[in-house]
Structure formats: structure tokens, C-alpha cells
Amino acid sequence: MMKTILVLNGPNLNMLGLREPEVYGSETLADVEQTCREYGGGLGLVIEFQQTNHEGQMIEWIHHARRRIAGIVINPGAWTHTSAAIHDALIAAEVPVIEVHISNVHRREDFRHFSYVSRVAKGVLAGFGTDGYRMAIQHYASSLEQSNA
């Protein structure tokens, strides 16, 4: 059976490509979704792609991943730096997590240097623009292939 990767995006990422292109690039979130679906599909993965501006909705999607999803790719947006609730939900889901940031958060304001999510992530990608999403999917494709071998 095809494995599913859940790609989650937090607050304001629906604005991608519409404002601040110098920080976040010119691709829209719909472009990123299409790239993830095509790239993941080519690697034999099903991609579920979601964005929300509501923290409770994000927590529900993370809970629903339990025992159903092979890996989570999450750009938690500003919740990265504030949300113990998302940290706790990711632990409860018991699904591997890769944290993605389009910008290099460590080159930016101090408040972006701390992440609640990194503590529970297998790996973190920051500063590779939207390529980070593909890099995370590629990692799951190769690690899932190895675990099937």
C-alpha cells in the first residue's frame, strides 16, 4: 500500500508569494502544494497538504495522523516559537516529524531562534526556501524504502 506523508502549514503561510517575496520567495502555497504532490508521487508517496490559521485545527490534523501517516512535514509558522500545544500533539501522534522553515530563522530576530517543534523533530530544514519541503519528502522516501528492505 502507498505510504502517505502529511504536509502541514501554519498561520499566514496562505500569504506565500503575495507579500514579502524578499524573505519567502515568489512561489504561492498552491505552487508548493503542486510541487510536493508531483515530487512525492514520483517517489511513490501520497501527499496530503494542509494550511490553517487556527491552532486547534492544526492540533486535530496532527492527532488524526496517528497510525495513518508515515511522516509529517510541518512548517508551523510563528507557532514554532510559541506553541507547547503543537509540541504535545506531535508527541501524542507518534509519527516522525520534519520541521521546515522557508527562511533561515537563525539569521533573523532572536524570538525566531527558539522552536518548540525542534525538540520533537527528527530533523529541521531552514533557509532552503520552498526546496525544504521537497528535501523533507525525499528523506521520507529514502528512509521508508530502507525500512521496507
Nearer to ligand CA2, 42 or 78 (CB): 78
Is residue 12 near ligand CA2 by the rule CB under 6 A? yes
Sign of CA dihedral 33, 18, 106, 85: negative
- Helices and strands, number each (H, E), in the chain: 5, 5
State the maximum Cα–Cα separation within the chain, in Å, rounded to a whole number: 44
Helix (H, G, I), strand (E, B) or coil at 105: helix
Which residues are bridge partners to 3 per DSSP?
45
Catalytic residues: 24, 101
Is residue 24 near ligand CA2 by the rule CB under 6 A? yes
Please count the residues of this chain forming the interface with ligand CA2, following the rule CB under 6 A. 16
Among positions 60-119, residues that touch ligand CA2 (CB under 6 A) are 75, 77-78, 80, 101-103, 105, 112
Nearer to ligand CA2, 19 or 66 (CB): 19
Cα–Cα distance between 88 and 77 in angstroms, integer?
Answer: 17
Q: Which residues bind ligand CA2 (CB under 6 A)?
A: 12-13, 15-16, 19-20, 24, 75, 77-78, 80, 101-103, 105, 112
